[in-house]
């Protein structure tokens, strides 16, 4: 089987040997009964790291975001999010299909943020029965589709301090990438948030799982909804054990991914016909487009690069996104740049 350097996403990371060892030795119980000690340890650890009262292990970031919305919003209520938000673009419309919740999008700014005035103007008049009730706003950090940009603590705090009466949820799939890039504790970025979901299975390298954090009453509601969605797991300590290793040992090393993204970006900038986009690099992501004058489609590029041992994806905006992670080393960066040069050099 051919070995590839896989730049498609940080979701392709493989668990480390330390994770595999911890999973094999994990102490387990029935988590639906609340009896899995390793899950309990992970949830408590995650909540403490994010400055929240409680946590809930879920299968994915998509499930975590969905549960957060369903725990707050009733049918016909409204959730405000960015036009480039992951919940709007890439979560199959679950909040509407499963919760009957109205999605109200406002534009992401160039830095990935949602302008405070846009959030405020999007809020409905709760006394007007013609309109849905605005219950929640979701801010994504890092902001994937805007280039992997990290939103700083001052901005994140300002959203929560607006006091508009909504529940402030953070889709923090890569919140630790943001924390490392900004050199602040992750808790500082969600200090004013009512809830936050983060992924263990992206740059942190765990094979599965995300954690939803918030206050105890919120997590109590969330646990019920997780069960309703079929997300109640039994001896889930096997999964949680890898998550604990991820939180203990994989956060600081995210800085290596960010350095490699910069090195990759520097190399791309030297290739004629390659145009960096979205302010790349940001955290562990690099976006670029090919000059149309090259006459090379994205699909052709993807196929030709794959033939040279490198996997890449394009985006709905017609760009190529490259993501660095624990399984991408310096040799992978070199091979990716060599392969691109071979394809685009006329």
Range in 1-5, 24-28, 340-344 with the lowest mean pLDDT: 1-5
Averaged pLDDT, 16-32: 98
pTM of the model: 0.96
Pick the closest to residue 197 from 228, 166, 218 (CA basis). 218
Q: Where are the domains of the chain?
A: 5-11+253-344, 17-249
* 5-11+253-344 is classed CATH 3.40.309.10: no
| Per-residue pLDDT band at 1 (split at 50, 70, 90) | low
CA distance 183 to 311: 30
| Per-residue pLDDT band at 131 (split at 50, 70, 90) | very high
CA distance 284 to 205: 14
Residue 79 is predicted with a pLDDT of: 98
| Tens-digit pLDDT profile for residues 44-71 | 999 999 999 999 999 999 999 999 999 9
Task: Using alpha carbons, list the distances in angstroms from residue 87 to 42, 234, 251, 285, 318.
Answer: 25, 27, 24, 19, 20
Do the two domains 5-11+253-344 and 17-249 of this chain adopt the same fold?
no
Query: What integer best gives the mean pLDDT of the chain?
Result: 96
Residue 161 is predicted with a pLDDT of: 82
Asked if residue 228 has pLDDT above 80, the reply is: yes
Contact 275/60 with Cβ under 8 angstroms? no
CA distance 175 to 189: 8
CA distance 161 to 62: 26
| Residue percentage of the chain with pLDDT more than 90 | 94
Task: Using alpha carbons, list the distances in angstroms from residue 156 to 32, 50, 107, 188, 319.
Answer: 34, 14, 17, 9, 28
- Could you tell me where the beta strands, DSSP code E, fall in 142-261? 167-171, 195-199, 210-214
Contact 58/66 with Cβ under 8 angstroms? no
Contact 211/243 with Cβ under 8 angstroms? yes
Collapsed DSSP state (helix, strand, coil) of residue 63: helix
The highest-level CATH class for domain 17-249 is alpha beta
Averaged pLDDT, 157-178: 92
Asked if residue 162 has pLDDT above 80, the reply is: no
Sort strands 102-106 and 167-171 into parallel, antiparallel or unpaired.
Answer: unpaired
């Amino acid at each position: 089987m051919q070995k590839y350097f896989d730049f498609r996403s940080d979701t392709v990371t493989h668990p480390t040997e330390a994770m595999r060892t911890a999973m094999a030795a994990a102490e387990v119980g029935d988590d639906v009964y609340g009896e899995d000690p390793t899950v309990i340890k992970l949830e408590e650890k995650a909540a403490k790291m994010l400055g929240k009262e409680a946590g809930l292990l879920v299968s994915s970031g998509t499930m975590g975001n969905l549960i957060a919305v369903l725990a707050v919003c009733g049918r016909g209520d409204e959730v405000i999010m960015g036009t480039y938000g992951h919940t709007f673009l890439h979560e199959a419309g679950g909040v509407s299909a499963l919760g009957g919740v109205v999605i109200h999008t406002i534009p992401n700014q160039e830095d990935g943020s949602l302008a405070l005035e846009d959030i405020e103007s999007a809020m409905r008049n709760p006394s007007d029965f013609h309109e849905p009730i605005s219950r929640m706003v979701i801010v994504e950090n890092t902001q994937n589709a805007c280039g992997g940009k990290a939103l700083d603590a001052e901005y994140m705090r300002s959203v929560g301090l607006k006091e508009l009466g909504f529940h402030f949820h953070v889709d923090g799939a890569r919140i630790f990438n943001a924390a490392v890039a900004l050199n602040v504790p992750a808790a500082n970025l969600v200090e004013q948030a009512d809830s936050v979901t983060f992924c263990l299975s992206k740059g942190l390298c765990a094979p599965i799982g995300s954690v939803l954090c918030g206050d105890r009453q919120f997590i109590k509601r969330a646990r019920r909804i997780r069960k309703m969605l079929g997300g109640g797991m039994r001896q889930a300590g096997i999964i949680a054990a890898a998550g604990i290793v991820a939180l203990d040992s994989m956060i600081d090393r995210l800085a290596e991914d960010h350095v490699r993204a910069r090195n990759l970006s520097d190399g791309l900038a030297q290739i004629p016909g390659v145009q960096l986009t979205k302010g790349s690099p940001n955290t562990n992501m690099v976006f670029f487009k090919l000059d149309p004058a090259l006459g090379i489609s994205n699909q052709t590029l993807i196929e030709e690069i794959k033939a040279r041992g490198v996997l890449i994806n394009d985006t709905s905006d017609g760009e190529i996104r490259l993501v660095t992670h624990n399984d991408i080393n310096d040799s992978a960066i070199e091979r990716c740049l060599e392969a691109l040069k071979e394809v685009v050099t006329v």
